[in-house]
Amino acid sequence: MSMYDVTVIVATYNSDLKKILTTVSRVLEQKEVSCELIVSDDGSENNLHDEIKNYLDNRNFGNYRLTGNKSNAGTVRNYYNALKYAEGEYIFCTSPGDYLYDEMTLHDFVCYARETKADAVFGDAVYYSADDDGNIVLPVLNNIGPTYPRIFNSGHSFEIEASFFFTNNIIGVTK
């Protein structure tokens, strides 16, 4: 049995602290779901772990781990290394500057995955720009579900792996 409903992994590399904290704050706002947060740095010159720890501790959020690579290993390896520490039933991967749509996003993600017994969950993405103060402007809803859904419905795991060659965009996957 998992300790949390979902583990949110934020993969960073020479990222802007403001963008990291904006993403982290959206995770802390989630309701009706237990979650842990893993911030995994990929060998940045300054990994900002002290600042992130301060931010989380000041908000009394203790379900987090700060980890990373000593040198840049690439995005996939960074996520993979963070997965080793994940204790959630499901995994939600994101990046600095990404927002969760609303305070129920992770709850809805987990409920849908459980109801459908999904191995992978796709969702719509809202693309936006932000002004210098971090205010969201010009949101555009864009469905980026699987380009080739038949691949994901065949029941063959090798086809799911092969789907990555077809530029499917995945927003969160199961552990």
- Measured from the Cβ of residue 52, the count of other Cβ atoms closer than 10 Å reads 21
Mean of the pLDDT values across residues 10-39? 96
pLDDT tens, residue by residue, 44-86: 998 899 999 999 999 999 999 999 999 999 998 999 999 999 9
The full length of the chain comes to 175
List domains and CATH numbers for the chain: 4-123+168-174 (3.90.550.10)
Residue found by looking up tokens 């205010």 in the block? 135
pLDDT at residue 95 above 70?
Answer: yes
pLDDT tens, residue by residue, 98-140: 888 889 999 998 998 898 887 777 666 666 666 777 666 655 5
CA atoms within 13 Å, Cβ hemisphere of 11: 19
Predicted TM-score (pTM) of the model is: 0.76
